[in-house]
Amino acid sequence: MDGFLLAGSVIGIVSALLCIGAALLRQPPNDITILSVAAVELFLLVYAVVAGVRQAGGEPVLGEAWEFWGYLLTALVLPVGAFWWAILERSRWSNLVLAAAGLAVFVMLVRMEQIWDGVAGL
């Protein structure tokens, strides 16, 4: 297992759990939930830079490179969209949108790892 996949999985899942917990407690988005999603976005930015350096350094994407970068760009947009939703609609339900972003990024990281390693999709 790639270290970036492990780190991203932990960050995404912890963010989702914090956001789900806040929703269950009927809290509107707060500093903790917003910052947890910001951590997901920060991780994705680092991941994108490292992936670019790895690929520029000659390490090929064994699957389809366009698919990998498409997933990465989409993953980069999800936390930003969830953040804006949470800021514009400050209800407890917005925490579930923030949680969905963390879970979706987790799933996309798993798929990006499969594409990078050339594993056939399901």
Question: pLDDT by residue (tens digit) across 56-101?
Answer: 998 888 888 899 999 999 999 999 999 999 889 888 889 999 999 9
Its pTM stands at 0.88
Question: 3-117: what fold?
Answer: Four Helix Bundle (Hemerythrin (Met), subunit A) (1.20.120)
CA distance 117 to 122: 14
DSSP assigned state of 63: S
Pair of tokens at residue 50: 């490292």
Contact 119, 80 (CB under 8 A): no
CA distance 37 to 18: 10
Pair of tokens at residue 105: 């990024």
- Domain spans of the chain, in order of start: 3-117
